[in-house]
């Protein structure tokens, strides 16, 4: 079983290597070129900085359970939110819709947008489904809830901060993260209603890396 400490150690080592090579580490707003360009074998070992090493079990808005590793092999954009958000989360979703619309059709069909709730009490599968319907999100979107410890671990790895207030609302980072086919962070975008062109380019690069070599 992989622990959060092991993942953090792997992330730190990878960040140091990238810095030594002159690359910009995740979270800076610039894309990192992913490994290229071999097909990924289903049973190939995960890399040291893959989020798919997390062992947590998540539940989607249809009530089905899975691990993040089931997303392996496709480009993923992941963000954290809560379904009763009054302002920022709907705007974040709108930004992700703009991002998805900016992708070529072939990439858009492979890419998955993942929304993970940090409201572990109120965001039941039914609440997530209601949010999906309210925001008219199609099958290209995955909405997940999980145990508090799993949410905290994922938020730590993504650099997302959140805190619940007395009204039950959350103050939180407005951030989305692009993962390549191996579940590695290749780009992060902070803020709302900004330019998503770099994020779209980052989504397209890992989509290509998941394709078989000629």
> Does domain 4-209 correspond to CATH entry 3.10.20.30?
no
CA atoms within 13 A on the CB side of 191: 7
Q: What pLDDT digit, counting tens, does each position of 190-201 carry?
A: 888 888 899 999
pLDDT for 133 = 97
Task: Give tens-digit pLDDT for 62-115.
Answer: 999 999 999 999 999 999 999 999 889 999 999 999 999 999 999 999 999 999
Task: Note the pLDDT tens digit of each residue in 128-148.
Answer: 999 999 999 999 999 999 999
Percent of the chain at pLDDT > 90 equals: 59
Q: Evaluate if residue 56 carries a pLDDT over 80.
A: yes
Say if residue 150's pLDDT is above 60. Answer: yes
C-alpha distance across the termini of the chain, in Å:
35
Q: State the burial class of residue 169 (Cβ atoms within 10 Å of its Cβ: 0-12, 13-18, 19+).
A: middle
Q: Which residues contact 150 (CB under 8 A, 6 or more apart)?
A: 54, 56, 57, 58
Tell me the pLDDT of the chain averaged across its residues: 80
In the block, which residue shows the tokens 């900004």?
A: 194
What ranges do the domains of the chain cover? 4-209
pLDDT of residue 165: 83
Q: What is the pTM of this model?
A: 0.77
Which ranges of the chain would DSSP assign to H, the alpha helix?
4-20, 88-101, 105-110, 125-135, 148-158, 197-209
Bridge partner list, 66:
58
Contact 185, 33 (CB under 8 A): no
């Amino acid at each position: 079983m992989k622990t959060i400490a092991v993942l953090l150690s792997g992330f730190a080592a990878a960040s140091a290597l990238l810095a030594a090579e002159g690359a910009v580490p995740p979270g800076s707003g610039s894309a990192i070129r992913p490994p290229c360009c071999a097909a990924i074998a289903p049973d190939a070992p995960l890399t040291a900085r893959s989020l798919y090493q997390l062992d947590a079990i998540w539940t989607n808005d249809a009530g089905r359970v899975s691990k993040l590793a089931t997303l392996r092999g496709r480009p993923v954009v992941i963000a954290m939110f809560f379904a009763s958000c009054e302002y920022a989360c709907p705007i974040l979703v709108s930004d992700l819709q703009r991002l998805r619309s900016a992708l070529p059709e072939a990439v858009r069909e492979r890419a998955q947008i993942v929304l993970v709730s940090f409201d572990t009490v109120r965001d039941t599968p039914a609440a997530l489904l209601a949010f999906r319907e309210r925001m008219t999100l199609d099958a290209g979107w995955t909405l997940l809830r999980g145990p508090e410890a799993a949410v905290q671990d994922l938020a730590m790895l993504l650099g997302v901060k959140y805190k619940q207030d007395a009204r039950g609302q959350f103050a939180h980072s407005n951030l989305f993260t692009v993962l390549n086919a191996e579940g590695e962070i290749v780009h992060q975008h902070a803020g709302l209603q900004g330019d998503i062109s770099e994020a779209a380019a980052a989504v397209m690069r890992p989509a290509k890396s998941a394709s078989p070599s000629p």
